[in-house]
Amino acid sequence: MSWQKTSLCVLGLPLGTQTTPPFIPDCIRQADVLCGFPKTLKAFASLQKPCVPLTLPLDVSLQSLTEFLENGQKVVILASGDPLFYGIGATLPRYFPKDSFTILPSVSSLQETCAKIAMPWHDVVCVSLHGRKNTMALNQALLSGKTICLLTDPSNTPKSLAAYLAKKGYPCTIHVFANIGTPKESYSLFSLLPDPKTAAIHVPDIPDIAPNIPMTILLEPSKKPTMPMLGIPEALLSPECYCTKAAVRATALSLLAMRPNEIFWDIGAGSGALSLEACRLLPEGAIFAVEEKAERMAIIEQHLQRFGAYTVNPVAGHAPLCLKDLPNPTRVFVGGGLSQNDARRLLDATTSRMAPSGRIVLACVLLQTIALCHSYFQKKAWTYGVTLVQTSSSTSLANDLRFGESAPVYLVWAEKPNTEQAQ
């Protein structure tokens, strides 16, 4: 669509534009009104055109443009780079029909930074951390094994990001671009390398960059994540921590009926084995491994780094108290804690926050725990059932094999109705 056919145009300016460019695009010269953030409008003050400054939130500013458009005036919104790359171009359809405006993009920050280090950008995963405290999207991108473009804000500095990635056990090269397109443009390069002996990631000395400086960060992985396999052999897990048996893990994950984008709580995570395997099933989701014992939590963190389970978030604390700040779950596994006095409190804390059609699976070894679950879900009118898991595995004996016994584990599963019924 040609910009001449619409009264509203969104123009992407070259990154770092601070003064009136020598060549003024036709849409600006013919505009009756300019709109943009104050810093951008200042660069075009010499044109002496009526201006509408953008302020956050955008509602009032964008709605004020309606009067100009209804009077037949041409309005140009000045943006930076590509307006459709985490910019105002994606927001505009909430206020104006898509066929009522034209977008003229410039080079995006992703294209600009990749060009500076000759890196093809068609396969780069982009994540915006601007104004976001949730790292879910970043964790999901880490699993991809691809270069990641991060758009940051003052709270997500290269230094804090490096510390976060080191804790995740993510080896990579960090490319930091600041003030792109301005005379103060800078480029820094840092490496997160694992220690040859301990495999722990060493965080280099990264200087603090002054806040409010526009930055784009590229994370180039040093190796492709292996991701945990399903059916992790117990020999690969720490012998110092209780581990849910492989057959029980497989059955529990089957009963949970995982979809790729679930929010999963693993309560009483133990060694974290179930969370590790769930990581492969939830590439678009988030996993929270909850464990109150400090020694077990240390082992969980070691396992997460060793297996590259980047979407798993360790949560230290006693459930249900430590659950209050977690996002509401769609799937829950309870591997421990139901035989305690606060079992009903734990069930209430999980089921009350679960989304409709959410599923919970509880590992039980005591008959009284099964009876508690039966009574609880019957009263709530949830669909529920019990699956008994009892397997025998072979062991060596006199140049032959024999089958050893294993204690039965009862997996109680329950599904929340689409409409919660009266308690």
In order along its 423 residues, the chain shows pLDDT tens digits of: 555 678 999 999 999 888 877 788 889 999 999 999 998 999 899 889 999 999 888 888 888 899 899 999 999 999 999 999 999 999 999 999 998 999 999 999 999 999 999 999 999 999 998 877 778 999 999 999 999 999 988 888 899 999 999 999 999 999 999 988 888 899 999 999 888 877 788 888 888 776 667 789 999 999 887 777 888 888 788 877 677 888 899 999 999 999 999 999 999 999 999 999 999 999 999 999 999 999 999 999 989 988 889 999 999 999 999 999 999 999 999 987 676 677 889 999 999 999 999 999 999 988 889 999 999 999 999 999 999 998 877 878 888 888 877 788 999 999 999 875 444
The H or E element containing residue 388 is strand 383-389
Identify the CA nearest to 114 among candidates 149, 86, 80.
149
Q: How far apart are CA 75 and CA 7, in angstroms?
A: 6
Identify the CA nearest to 272 among candidates 338, 321, 187, 336.
336
**pLDDT at residue 192 in the model:** 93
**pLDDT at residue 423 in the model:** 45
Find out whether 412 and 386 touch, Cβ atoms under 8 Å. Answer: yes
CATH 3.30.950.10 residue ranges of the chain are: 111-221
* DSSP 8-state symbol, 8: E
Q: How far apart are CA 411 and CA 360, in angstroms?
A: 10
**pLDDT at residue 126 in the model:** 95
Burial degree of 303 (CB within 10 A; 0-12, 13-18, 19+): buried
CATH number of 111-221: 3.30.950.10
**pLDDT at residue 422 in the model:** 40
**pLDDT at residue 420 in the model:** 52
CATH 3.40.1010.10 residue ranges of the chain are: 3-107
Identify the CA nearest to 109 among candidates 56, 41, 178.
178
CATH 3.40.50.150 residue ranges of the chain are: 234-415
Q: How far apart are CA 380 and CA 350, in angstroms?
A: 13
* DSSP helix/strand/coil, 185: coil
**pLDDT at residue 161 in the model:** 92
Q: Does domain 3-107 have CATH number 3.10.450.50?
A: no
**pLDDT at residue 221 in the model:** 94
Identify the CA nearest to 154 among candidates 88, 210, 99, 200.
210
**pLDDT at residue 133 in the model:** 76
What's this model's pTM, rounded to 2 decimal places?
0.84
**pLDDT at residue 191 in the model:** 93
Identity of residue 101: F
Pick the CATH number of 234-415 from 3.40.50.2300, 3.40.50.300, 3.40.50.150, 3.30.200.20: 3.40.50.150
Q: How far apart are CA 267 and CA 260, in angstroms?
A: 20
Q: How far apart are CA 36 and CA 89, in angstroms?
A: 12
* DSSP 8-state symbol, 237: S
Find out whether 51 and 41 touch, Cβ atoms under 8 Å. Answer: yes
